[in-house]
Structure 1
Amino acid sequence: MEIIFNNPLMLLLLFTIPILVILHYYFFQHNKKKAIRFSNFSAMKRITGTKLITKNTTQLILRSVSLTFLIFAFSMPIIWYESDISITDYVIAIDASASMTNTDVLPNRLEVSKQAASSFLSKLDSKTNIGVVSFAGVTFVKSPLTTRISSVQEAISNIDIELSGGTDIGAAMITSTNILTPGDKTKSIILITDGSDTAGAFVDESVETALNYVISNNIIVHTISIGSGLGTAGYLENSGLPAVYDSDSLKMVSSSTGGKHYEVKNTAEIASAFLDIDLQSEQGRDSFDLFNLFFVIGFILILFEWTLLNTKFRSIP
């Protein structure tokens, strides 16, 4: 657990507290001497049985504590703590290249991926931010980060096969990373594909460049390879590029970022992969903004001090 101050310069005002204490006792001594010159407080004390000149310690404590709470409030503190609730931000990147129409996973690879992703969203905590990207030769942002699960599910259901040929995994990773940053939560990309990176500049360099960018932004990438892993897609035959997934590259991406790689060949296996990703995210860091709490406490203490000043500690004219 730790506390982060978004406006730490305000904490410098804490040095005014000792000054307040010193001034309080200085003016107390000064006013006491002035009062004694004109009044016989010793005689009045014998008559009333009470001490007429006090150090107003209660007032000083209330004022110091209220000021302390207000200073902490305006320093904008946020407490981070370990939580059993998933507070990971996700971007789901779904391959929408032509080969995803393959029916080796019924009804086809794309529909199974969309259904599994949508089902995964329904199990997430309401605080979870979700974004969606589809990619083929070009990457498209289908939904920016949002906590509105229903709108994200709609964006996923609207994903269709992209006209641009190829599978630019590197660009999908970079676009997903740009959606996720900045932010203090754990950030993860769930990348679903059935092919190798066949559209990125210099192909291998595309994934490597994207991986370095992802790592520099502390993002976890889980990769899901869907399909039998056999055969080629018709639209790639002329170029000689395989449409089967490159397990080694995908495993390298996931392991380098602290994620996991899954090879799925049916609906049950992809559902199991999403469940495992969800379980890994159950432990995380959550935050609580302390501004309102500290401000309310400080304000209540000020009201309490004001009440005492007008009742118990009221000055005699």
Structure 2
Amino acid sequence: MELTFSYKYANLLILLVGLIIILYLLSKHSAKKRVLRFGNFEVLEKVIGRKILGVGIVPIILRTIAFTLIVIAISDPVLIYGQYVANTDFVLAVDTSSSMLTPDYPPNRLEVAKEVAIDWVKELENTKIGIVTFAGKSYVKLQPTSETDTIVNKLKDISLEFPAGTAIGEALVTSTALLADSKKNRTVILITDGRNNVGVPVNDSIETLVSNHIRVIAIGIGSVENITITNITRPEGVNENATIAEFPDLDEATLQNIANKTRGLYFKILNKTSFEEAMKAGLEYKKSTIRPVTYLLLLACAVLLIEWALEITKYRALP
């Protein structure tokens, strides 16, 4: 959020502030002259119950604030704020195979994907989002909805799934089915660290996507080489005897092909920041403006009323 305004009245503001200070000093000097007839100021102050010199600094500060607000109001102020918007419905297709527990992105790839996706969802308003997860087969976790809390809670619940494998093609077909009734643009955000090795061939899923006018933003996370990791920390309740696992490499060529054929985008993630940027690629950053002239003038009037009330009560000068 930012505030812009014209500086052509800056000299007027300086002049008004200077004039207020001069008037304050003159008023203070005048007040001193009015009480010169009294020989004991302390006795007089006890009698009237307040300071003799009634011109205080508080009304001057309030008056300065009020005139500053008026000058800003006539300087054509514009309040600019931006937010991400989407003229599309989404399905998040998240890889939940064992390789997503690799800790090269602390605490692991899956948790980072969930964190970034949750932050992304919270930035959107009135956008329908569905969730599909996949390992050796795909699962519908959430039908498209615009209820942010529901989406966030479903993302938090995502964890490692079985059977083993990476069914990218099947996940894309399932995502297409979720978007079938959408009247808006339709986008699948595919998050994976492997290659399709079970289920529907990727080429078949691409044909389904293209025929339904659905684009894919493919996000590749992880290594482009085969990886072997030990001592995987598995979710509670998942029983695995093996402490060593070997996973297939990230198939960038296939992900790029999916993105190209569906007129989407492909991103290879290097860190959490690049992950966040990739998620926002399907959004539009829209700037909105507000001209707060009326609010500033009303606020200036309120401040002047407070200043006037103090002048005739607490800071009233001795007659």
Q: Cα distance, 1:241 vs. partner?
A: 8.7
Task: Report the Cα offset of residue 87 of structure 1.
Answer: 2.4
Contact 1:196 1:242 in 2 (8 A): no
CA distance in 2, matches of 1:197, 1:266: 23
**Match for residue 158 of structure 1?**
157
Number of the residue aligned with 1:193:
192
Aligned CA RMSD, in angstroms, stands at: 2.4
- The answer for the alignment partner of 2:264 in structure 1 is 259
Aligned match of 1:279? 284
- Counterpart in 2 of 1:80? none
1:94·1:191 contact (CA, 8 Å) conserved in 2? Answer: yes
Q: Does 1:135 align with 2:134?
A: yes
- Contact 2:96–2:135 (CA<8 Å) still a contact in 1? yes
Q: Which residue matches 1:88?
A: 88
Q: For residue 280 of structure 2, what is the amino acid of its counterpart?
A: L
Q: What amino acid sits opposite 1:104 in the alignment? A: D
Which blocks of at least 5 consecutive residues in structure 2 are unaligned? 1-83, 230-239, 288-319
Unaligned runs of 5+ in 1: 1-83, 284-317
Aligned counterparts of 1:133 and 1:248: Cα–Cα separation in 2: 22
1:250 aligned to which of 245, 252, 255: 255
Equivalence for 2:105: 105
SS at match of 1:94: strand
Q: What SS class does the counterpart of residue 263 from structure 2 fall into?
A: coil
Show the counterpart of 2:209: 214
Q: Identity across aligned pairs (percent)?
A: 32
Evaluate the alpha carbon distance shift between residue 233 and residue 157 of structure 1 in structure 2; reply closer, same or farther with a 3 A threshold.
farther
Matched, 1:225 2:238: no
Contact 1:89 1:187 in 2 (8 A): yes
Corresponding residue SS for 1:156: helix
Cα displacement (A) at 1:269: 1.2
The question of whether the paired residues in 2 share the 8 Å contact of 1:228 and 1:265 is answered with no
Greater helix fraction, Structure 1 or Structure 2? 1
Tell me, what secondary structure is at the counterpart of 1:160? coil
Q: Per-residue displacement from partner, 1:11-43 (whole Å, max 9, x unpaired)?
A: xxxxxxxxxxxxxxxxxxxxxxxxxxxxxxxxx
- CA offsets, 1:146-175, max 9 Å, x none? 110110111011010002100000000000
How far apart are residue 242 of structure 1 and its match? 5.4
Separation in structure 2 between the aligned mates of residue 277 and residue 147 of structure 1, nearest angstrom: 17
Q: How many Å separate the matches in 2 of 1:267 and 1:118?
A: 13
TM-score (norm 2): 0.56
Rounded Cα–Cα distance in structure 1 between residues aligned with 2:228 and 2:284 = 34
Q: 1:228 is matched by which residue type in structure 2?
A: S
Alignment partners' CA distance in 2, 1:90 and 1:269: 20
Alignment of 1:302-313 (within 5 A): none
Against the structure 1 CA distance between its residues 95 and 216, is the aligned structure 2 distance closer, same or farther, given a 3 Å change threshold? same
Per-residue CA shift, 1:224-275, capped at 9, x if unaligned? 000132333579x9xx995211111100101111110000022111011112
**What is the SS of the residue equivalent to 1:220?**
strand
Letter matched to residue 220 of structure 2: S
State the TM-score, normalizing by the size of structure 1. Answer: 0.57
Q: Is the 8 A contact 1:106 1:266 kept in 2?
A: no
Number of residue pairs matched by the alignment: 191
Secondary structure of 1:209's aligned partner: helix
> 1: CA distance between counterparts of 2:122 and 2:135?
26
Alignment check: 8 A CA contact 1:198 1:241 kept:
no
